[in-house]
Amino acid sequence: MKKLLLVATLSLFISNVASAKSIEGEGKFLSTDQDSVSFVKKQLLSNAFKKIIDLEIREMGLDSVTFWNNYNSKFEEHFSPIRTAVTEKYEEGEGDERKVPEAKKERLEKSLRKKRLVSKAKFGRLGRAIKSYSIKKLSKSIRMPNSHYINVSAQVNRKKLTDIYYKFIGISRFRTFRKLFLDVRYSLENTNWIELGVETEGDFVNVVNDHWQKKLTASAGNLFTDGVVIVDDSIRSQINERLKKPLALLRSSNVSLIDGDDSGMSDSLYMNVEVFIKKERADEGLKKLDIKFSGGLILNDLKDKSIITHLDFVPEKSSFKNIDQHTLSSNIASIVYRLPMTKIQKMRKIVEENVKNKNSFEIIIKGTKNVNEVFGFTKKLKEKGLLYYFNPKVETLIGSEVKVLVEYSGLKERALGVLTKMISEQVSQDRVVKRDSELPFVFNIVDQKNESDDSSTQNQDV
């Protein structure tokens, strides 16, 4: 008894020592000139703590990717009414005409940024998982004075971290999207904007972009929490830099959450539209212009650079005759507007089917005596597949054979690994699960006595 007590005490001591080890993490933050020193420090500490928590979650063998995705999704839900309340303070006008005037938009963006960062630093009270910490280094970039860095050494309270982990791990299997970036570029062949009746290229582009933006917003509903954003040169540069990054780096990091990236690109989609306008024939005498319109679009997930959908526009040829410049430009704008409409009108459906999709596999259960055994099996399978959001559904039940569809999220290999945990699991009194040695997706429910006899026979053979 004393030896057992000593072993148990030593095990507990070793466990406590292991969980009390220090972990180092780096926090990054890009400030603005208006940010105070104390504000910058709080953001740095928050981001460093998240990095440390991420490392500890991985060390504990838990699913850090799903945790941060769920944490991020829940934060967006939390911040949505705050964003609405702040925006309303800057709006002017009545009814449908109520909007934020151009003169106030910059102040609104600054206010939303500050509110968002303050809320994110507090959300989920992640800091309670940090038992103690010390700042090793606080610095900023020489080349970019607004880039700040902090190195922190901390001890994590694993019990509190586990509580936080399971609080968020079961919230949602789906991602929340921040923005849909709309990037539109035109290529003219054998013509120019003046000939097309357009005095200023920017005016034409802005009119079409505004209409596409409104249509996408209406089509997507509340799918994108920060709405549809028209890409300018600055945003395009950031997106291109992200698309150049190795896929492994994008998949392993949660930039928007851990490193203080405020753009939300890792939780956004990117629609790249190219429009080609070619003059095929011009008859000055008849004042006739033949133009061909073509192009295409690609919708990318900026989380992993994957292509969600694409479309080659159906080429359209139009003849314009004896019309004034204003009418000509308006007609051309209408044609261009229609080109991507088949995808734009179905934006929500496309995203939900291709980005928010659930993976699945089928298993067969044989030898069931009653429905309770089936539901006993699916209940235990769901519990064991918690990290991968297992959702078993009975598809068919014929006699003693049952087909079950198991929906899940995450890596297929790891999800299938959960099936091994069902072997010898008891589903009802004196009834246990066996797995077919040759058919990994087939399970048999047998009497516990028979299962024991089989094991004894195998041992005797050996």
pLDDT at residue 33 above 50?
yes
pLDDT at residue 336 above 90?
yes
Per the model's pLDDT, the better-predicted residue between 14 and 171 turns out to be: 171
87-123 pLDDT tens trace = 999 998 887 778 889 999 999 999 999 999 999 999 9
Section 24-33 average pLDDT:
93
Backbone angles phi, psi at 152, to 5 degrees: -125, 140
Looking at residue 35, its pLDDT comes to 93
Share of residues in the chain with pLDDT > 90 (%)? 47
Looking at residue 170, its pLDDT comes to 56
Q: Is 102 left (phi over 0), alpha (psi -120 to 50) or beta?
A: alpha
Per the model's pLDDT, the better-predicted residue between 21 and 194 turns out to be: 194
- Distance (Å, rounded) from C-alpha 13 to C-alpha 19? 10
257, 253, 352: which is closest to 304 by C-alpha? 253
Spell out the domain ranges in the chain.
18-96+104-169, 180-354, 359-456
pTM, 2 dp = 0.51
What does pLDDT average to over the chain?
A: 84
Section 268-296 average pLDDT:
91
pLDDT at residue 197 above 80?
yes
pLDDT at residue 13 above 60?
no
Looking at residue 244, its pLDDT comes to 85
Q: Are the beta carbons of 315 and 293 closer than 8 angstroms?
A: yes
pLDDT at residue 432 above 60?
yes
pLDDT at residue 441 above 80?
yes
Q: Is 389 left (phi over 0), alpha (psi -120 to 50) or beta?
A: left
Section 295-316 average pLDDT:
91
pLDDT at residue 339 above 90?
yes
pLDDT at residue 15 above 90?
no
pLDDT band per the 50, 70, 90 thresholds, residue 248: low
Q: Any idea what DSSP says for residue 89? A: H
Q: Which CATH class is domain 359-456?
A: alpha beta
The answer to whether the 18-96+104-169 and 359-456 domains have the same CATH topology is no
β-pair partners for 137: 151
Per the model's pLDDT, the better-predicted residue between 245 and 147 turns out to be: 147
172-188 pLDDT tens trace = 445 668 899 999 999 99
Number of Cα atoms under 13 Å in the Cβ half of residue 29: 29
Looking at residue 115, its pLDDT comes to 94
What own/partner pairs with CB < 8 Å and gap ≥ 24 does 418-422 have? 418/381, 418/384, 418/385, 418/388, 418/390, 419/363, 421/384, 422/377, 422/380, 422/381, 422/384
231, 191, 212, 185: which is closest to 329 by C-alpha? 191
Cα angle value 406/176/127 (rounded, 5°) = 100
367-420 pLDDT tens trace = 998 888 999 999 999 988 887 778 898 988 888 889 998 887 766 677 888 998
215-245 pLDDT tens trace = 999 998 888 888 999 999 999 999 998 888 7
Q: Residue 343 contacts by C-beta under 8 Å, 6 or more apart in sequence?
A: 297, 299, 309, 311, 350
Q: Residue 202 contacts by C-beta under 8 Å, 6 or more apart in sequence?
A: none
Looking at residue 168, its pLDDT comes to 80
Q: Which CATH class is domain 18-96+104-169?
A: alpha beta
Q: Are the beta carbons of 100 and 87 closer than 8 angstroms?
A: yes
CB-based burial of residue 349 (10 Å sphere; 0-12 exposed, 13-18 middle, 19+ buried)? exposed
> At residue 219, what is the residue type?
S
Q: Which CATH class is domain 180-354?
A: alpha beta
- Distance (Å, rounded) from C-alpha 373 to C-alpha 143? 66
pLDDT at residue 17 above 70?
no
pLDDT at residue 9 above 50?
no
Q: Any idea what DSSP says for residue 99? A: B
250-268 pLDDT tens trace = 554 544 444 445 567 878 9
327, 274, 315: which is closest to 296 by C-alpha? 274
CB atoms within 10 A of CB 34: 9
